[in-house]
Amino acid sequence: MERETTLTAPSDLERCRIHTEIPPHIRWVLSVPESEITDFRCIDGAVVSVTALIPKALVSFKSTPRSSTQNGPMVSTGGSR
């Protein structure tokens, strides 16, 4: 099963929307105190997807493509929820 992460960052808003089905990304979103969870899905008691609004300041955008197709490291900035 293919999993995905989608990030939407309108230029006129201070927050961006993230939807993810990738476990390390889910843990990161849940660990960020400033995240506003708008939706989530559980299967057998485990969170398998999350949608949230997060401040744009927490996201770094680059103008060049990545050289790897693997997930990059993510650093948690908060505790678990």
- Residue 78: inside a domain, yes or no? no
Count of domains observed in the chain: 1
- Residue 77: inside a domain, yes or no? no
- Residue 10: inside a domain, yes or no? yes
**What's the whole-number average pLDDT of the chain?**
84
Instruction: Write out the residue range of the structural domain in which residue 40 sits.
Output: 5-58
- Residue 39: inside a domain, yes or no? yes
- Residue 49: inside a domain, yes or no? yes
- Residue 26: inside a domain, yes or no? yes
43-77: b or e for each residue (b if 16 or more CB lie within 10 Å)?
eeeebebbbbbbeeeeeeeeeeeeeeeeeeeeeee
- pLDDT tens, 46-70? 999 999 999 988 887 777 877 777 7
pLDDT at site 78 = 53
Range with the lowest mean pLDDT among 1-10, 33-42, 51-60?
A: 1-10
- Residue 66: inside a domain, yes or no? no
Does the pLDDT of residue 29 top 80, yes or no?
A: yes
- Residue 30: inside a domain, yes or no? yes
